[in-house]
A and B are shown apart, each in its own frame.
Chain A
Amino acid sequence: MHIHKFEKIWLIFGITTLLVFLSVIGVSAFYLGNQPPSCLATINPEKVDTTAPFDKPGLKKVEGKEWDYELVFVASAFAYNPGQVEVPKGAKVKVIATTKDVIHGFEVAGTNINMMLEPGFISEYVTTFDKAGEYLIVCNEYCGVGHHMMSSKIEVVE
């Protein structure tokens, strides 16, 4: 099969760009640790309220870990617990969340925090809140009639 010279150049250029691009996201993922949220821990979705750490939703200071705080959320149709929380500016926080019923989303608008909450699984993401202000948390996966009412708030304070 014959391939035209210009097409060869076009494909070589395209495939080279593709390889560079894949290397960049690969290095970012495996060397710099920028992996998407992929926690493998499971939980019984019917016993969330009595399982640590979800028995005490909210912000908690922790010692001896790579992060300073753990921020625990429990989602259920159509609300998050806590419905509002304050976080000190500059704190390194591990967000830990799960759902008690159907699939929900957990998106902190204006940040890179965006993860799916699925019954039976725990979702985690470590991040630092650098900018003070109010951040809206929205459910971004359809969960029923009240889906667009489901929200919470993070206030990053000085």
Chain B
Amino acid sequence: MSTKSINTIVDRRDGKLAMAHFYVAFIALAIGGLAGLLQTLVRSGKYELPWGIGYYQVLTVHGVVLGLVLTTFFIMGFQLAAVSRTSGALTDKQRMTGWIGFWLMTIGTVMAAVMILLNEASVLYTFYAPLQAHALYYVGLTLVIVGSWIDGAALIMAYASWRKANPGKPSPLLTFMAIVNTLLWIVATIGVAATVLFQLLPWSLGLVERVDVLVSRTLFWYFGHPLVYFWLLPAYMAWYAIVPKIIGGKIFSDSLARMSFILFLLFSIPVGFHHQLMEPGIDPAWKFLQVILTFLVIIPSLMTAFSLFATFEMFGRSKGATGLFGWVKKLPWGDARFAVPFIGMLAFIPAGAGGVINASHQLNQVVHNTIWVTGHFHLTLATSVILTFFGISYWLVPHLTGRVLTKAMNKLAIIQAVIWAIGMTFMSGAMHAAGLLGAPRRSSFSTYGGSEQAAEWIPYQVAQAVGGSILFLGIILMLYIFINLAFFAPKGEQEFPVGEVADAAEKTPMVFENWKLWIGITVLLILFAYTIPFIDMIQNAPIGSKGYKFF
């Protein structure tokens, strides 16, 4: 696509920046995984935490470190590498910007972590007011977000230089996708930044006495749903643009891939009310409107599923496969770079179906805040997304460190994914089942005063502990492979695979690069979905709440 000579190796200095992000991400995986294991053990009723550590303190660690830290650092590192690989090495100024972003995020993470360890912030990673954490917890999380903006600025600057050097040409697909995800992130995080900076921080510092709880939650969930698409889109980048190359096939259609990313940008933000369906103070008609918008992301999801399977089938048939499903056998099942993300894709089928249930106006009543929800996002985030991130690491980490993925590590990686799938089947399956019986999420072990109903949930909690133990084994394996690839694997050149478009697919229209248009529509949709209910909320607001520290 580009006339500039395409480099096939990420610049070494950019590689260092990306690896710095990955070190933090995998340390987070280690800490968060241990917390996850402890949670399942406590919830089985057969184990108690030592040294006065609280269950909710551990759960705060797990949510912050895996939901916010691991994801943001991995995604930023991956996107930096992808842009450097497809649009050329960053300039010194761009790379410096990236490093500033990285250090701000890291300092913020340490601040938040210290506050959690001191039990000054056991408010979980969603920090709902009027539970009030120490001000430094909010400052820490703010730094993580501001740091990620600065990281994002480095990406946007690199994209702008590419466009300037290649006038009238569509940008490389991976760069384009990284930019869409960065824009989505910036637009979304404005909501959480607003509630933290203007409401929670002054309130926790004692500058104001009261906080408007509903406004704060609404700003949080304006951010909370696009957050999940910010996690998902990097996985889609790999599925659309990298996995085809790994199997030796072609990208089905460049234009459709771009279109689906644009649709995610448009429809993932004005939908936060689907997390607030059970809340007072919001008119149900507005809730329903956002439910409709929520369901529109099903369209790009269907497009993605079609493209992926079309790529797989085209490849299989080009290798002489016959019959309806003959192509399945031709896929490279022994290659971890393909097999691991593929297991992630499979998990997305039940995960997506569960998501449709969650977002359905009334069905939500059955599952809202039950452990079903936790089961759901351990399929989406902790399986589909995370296994794809693991699959990316298997070639990206050695590519950046000048090493190779050996046969032995490749095999271990496949075993890792199978262990993960088995552990998750137990844990997530049992969570879904217990949730349907009413078992609440975010809850330590309890017999609820000997209640018969609660007694029915306990066998499922034991099953979750079995699954959790298997998953923890998977985490140890993953860390072992990561350390091998980063420090010990034999020196060599590991490919950074970038897919090419199938010959039949035609030229990519330039309209996809028209950011004024897409950001304009995004803003209009947000204003449409939020303006009136938000004004209602402020006009009819009850007296605000003082802070409580019930931990």
Residues in A lying within 8 Å of B, measured CB to CB: 1-4, 6-7, 10-11, 14-15, 18, 21-22, 25-26, 28-30, 34-46, 77-78, 101-103, 105, 107, 109-110, 112-124, 134-136, 138-149, 151, 153
Contacts and interface: CB of A to CB of B under 8 A. Distances in A.
B550 A143 contact: yes
Contacts of A110: 437-438, 453
- Which of A25, A38, A110 neighbours the largest number of chain B CB atoms within 10 Å of its CB? A38
Interface of B, secondary structure class, is loop
Interface stretch (B95-103, B107-115, B292-300): B292-300
Contacts of A45: 542-543, 545
- Which of A10, A37, A141 neighbours the largest number of chain B CB atoms within 10 Å of its CB? A141
B39 to A, nearest CB: 12
Contacts of B130: 101-103, 119
A102 B124 CA distance: 14
The 3 closest A-B pairs by CB, nearest first: A144-B550, A120-B542, A109-B438
Contacts of B213: 103, 118-120
- Which of B287, B454, B550 neighbours the largest number of chain A CB atoms within 10 Å of its CB? B550
Contacts of B473: none
Interface of B: 54-56, 122, 124, 128, 130-131, 213-214, 217, 253, 255-256, 259, 276-284, 287-288, 291-292, 295, 298-299, 302-303, 306, 310, 356, 360-366, 368-370, 437-446, 448-449, 451-454, 505-506, 509, 540-545, 548, 550-551
Nearest to B57: A145
Contacts of B453: 109-110, 134-136
Contact of A148 (B288, B356, B445): B445
A142 B124 contact: yes
Nearest to A41: B280
A105 B440 contact: yes
B548 A101 contact: yes
B542 A102 contact: no
A109 B440 CA distance: 9
Contact of B131 (A3, A109, A144, A153): A144
Contacts of A109: 437-439, 453-454
A36 B445 contact: no
A26 B365 contact: no
Contacts of B281: 38-40, 42, 118, 120-121
B550 A25 contact: no
A14 B550 CA distance: 47
29 contacts: A2-B505, A14-B302, A22-B292, A29-B362, A34-B361, A36-B361, A38-B287, A42-B281, A43-B542, A77-B548, A101-B550, A105-B369, A109-B438, A112-B365, A118-B214, A118-B279, A119-B213, A120-B543, A121-B281, A121-B542, A124-B280, A138-B440, A140-B442, A140-B443, A141-B442, A142-B442, A142-B443, A146-B550, A147-B443
A42 B540 contact: yes
Contact of B448 (A37, A41, A151): A151
A18 B280 contact: no
Nearest to B296: A18
